[in-house]
A and B are shown apart, each in its own frame.
Chain A
Amino acid sequence: MSDPISTASFLGLSGALLGVGLFGILTRRNFILLLISIEIAINAAVLNFVYFAAFSSTAASGLNGQAAAVVLVGLAATEIAVGLAIVLALSRLRGSINVAEATSLRL
């Protein structure tokens, strides 16, 4: 591949993506935005797998990484589906999807 992106700058990108996701998970109070943050954080790992697979030394190792990336995409979808199920049950019960209002357990 001609003119590859350097690993350092690429890791900067995926690291930033992870950072954005983690920041969102820790600060967002709206559950839907929180789910989006989770998706961003998981996609940082997916992106890494894809990048490293594209520049891997052998074909077998490249396939290994691509397979991991595909599996991770599926996992992220499952994770979000479960999150939506929880938020749906919560909003039926309380009429709100604000995480900050969930305070009946002391943190």
Chain B
Amino acid sequence: MVDSTLLLRFLPEFAILGAGLLVLLAERMGAQRRELFGGLAIAGMALALLFVAADAGLAGLGSLRGVGASSIDAPVATGALYAFSSLGLLFQGFFLASALLVAVALLSRPSREPGSPVAYALLLFATLGMLLVALAADLVFLLLALEVTAISSYLLVGYTRRDPRGLEAAMKFYIIGALSASLSFFGASLLYGAYGTTSLTVIGHSWPTGAGSLASAGYAFLLVGLGFEVTAVPFHMWAVDVYDGAPTEVSAFLAGGTKKVGLFAFFLLFLVPLLLVGTLSTPAGSARESIQLALALLAVLTMTLGNLLALLQKEMKRLLAYSSISQAGYMLLGLAVGTGPALTGASLQILAHVFLKTGAFLVVAAVAALGVGPLVADWKGLGLRRPYLSAAFALMLLGLAGIPLTVGFVSKFVLFSAAIQAEGWFLWLAIAGLLNSALSVFYYARILKTMYVDHVDPGAPPAPSPSEPSLAFDGLGWGRAGAIGLATVVIVALGIYPQPVLSALGAAVQHFLTLGV
């Protein structure tokens, strides 16, 4: 029973899957060149991005459409495993953008390093899982798609197989991932027990009115399980070690890509009940308060602790990892407020983070390849030696701190003003967010000072030389330079002219919300 429209609907996913299988096949046939594997992966991702853009209704791509316009944002049929929402399609675009940046940057890894076909294949399979998460309409489908991403990313962390630090990070990531998966699945089984179905819509609609203790426990287990996934604070400890030990391009993918998948899963799971409870009178109204309070607490804890610990870090990768944890707090804040504008802000924050954090980690990878050490202090004087690279990094840090003219400012502005508009105690959430942004400026500014202001001792050893000086751009390589340049351009472009993205996201969020209720 093969449905011919099935192939059409899943064109982006098939493009990714096909590219992944081709990479593995090419490796079996004896291909050796990193460029070949990378080219296949990049082609697959670009094709998928094109199909997603066509499905999302980008003008001029109508003929490439695989999903009919009528089935996007349509009410979810009973028993459907997947559904196409415009918000899901936009998120697919975000996920693909992050994967594409990483795939381009991976081209510049050392040429003698083993495992490049495996890395590209795993990157593609992880992306496949991410794309499927954005379509999920069923709890088991959602968790399976999350697992596809997770399992691929454990292996991606240790893909070189020669680096003890990478393998150790893979092992820790694996243990935490398995823990989180077993909790999530246990939660899912309880929700199924409570309502006799795994459909997200039915569960979301049943919970506000018939919130038995079984279902509430199920939600609690899912909150913890997914909390690990998004590095929310009591469950964040693994992230720093994993980001630190993984090859830096992979850290970029984990921070900029796979973490966002967990956030989208949060959207799918908690929004419908949250919104629906709001339309009911008490006592269900107090249930809404209690979920919002739990999410708000998680958000504030995550951003505050992430920022405080980032202040103490001396190593660049660990610092960025903590900053990434704190950024997850801002996104959860949008979910806690739960209004249309707040979700638009959170989604925009996710988009901003894709480029800012992926870009920042890729700069770290590039700087490490130039022979600079892992400490922040090692970056001393880099602003003069590598002006373009440093300028790109400075821009990304300013974006993460939320300085105007970058996309980071726009997203935080939308998010915090939405929290203020929502009134009530959400005002305090906005204040907490603003204070945290101010706090984060300290450590970002410290890096900038190290790079640009601090004097290099005259007696210090000479500047390190690139590990592969033959690469383009003085040892930087085309891939890294291209990915970093691309991220920089998007950050500035969206910072100056966010209107189209903002309105598209706003409309998509509205559809998503009306669909839920």
Contact = CB atoms under 8 A, between A and B. Distances in A.
A82 B155 contact: yes
Contact of A104 (B164, B178, B181, B198): B164
Contacts of B134: none
A86 B167 contact: yes
B196 A56 contact: yes
Interface in B175-201: 175, 178-179, 181-183, 185-186, 188-190, 192-193, 196-198
B189 A52 contact: yes
B151 interface: yes
Interface residues of A, number: 49
Nearest to B177: A79
Interface string A55-77: 01110110011011001100100
B174 A61 contact: no
A25 B178 contact: yes
Interface residues of B, number: 40
- The binding surface of chain B is classed by DSSP as helix
B162 interface: yes
A31 B171 contact: yes
B154 interface: yes
B245 interface: yes
A35 to B, nearest CB: 8
Contact of A72 (B168, B172, B185): B185
Given A78-B151, A82-B151, A89-B158, A44 B181 contact: no
A69 to B, nearest CB: 9
A49 B186 contact: no
Contact of B186 (A7, A18, A68, A71): A18
B179 A68 contact: no
A32 interface: no
A89 B186 contact: no
Interface string A1-25: 0000001000100100010011001
B172 A105 contact: yes
B320 to A, nearest CB: 15
A33 interface: no
Interface in B214-244: 214, 237, 241, 244
A38 B182 contact: yes
A48 B171 contact: no
Given A75-B147, A90-B167, A83 B178 contact: yes
A93 B162 contact: yes
Contacts of B161: 89, 93
Given A52-B192, A64-B197, A105-B241, A79 B171 contact: no
B182 A99 contact: no
Contacts of A85: 155
A50 B183 CA distance: 17
Interface in B237-287: 237, 241, 244-245
- 5 smallest CB-CB distances across A and B, nearest first, come from A48-B189, A41-B182, A45-B185, A52-B193, A61-B196
15 contacts: A22-B182, A41-B178, A42-B181, A48-B189, A49-B189, A49-B192, A52-B193, A52-B196, A64-B196, A68-B192, A71-B144, A75-B144, A90-B168, A102-B171, A105-B165
Interface of B: 79, 140, 144, 147, 151, 154-155, 158, 161-162, 164-165, 167-172, 174-175, 178-179, 181-183, 185-186, 188-190, 192-193, 196-198, 214, 237, 241, 244-245
Given A41-B186, A64-B198, A82-B154, 5 more contacts: A14-B189, A22-B179, A79-B178, A82-B155, A86-B167
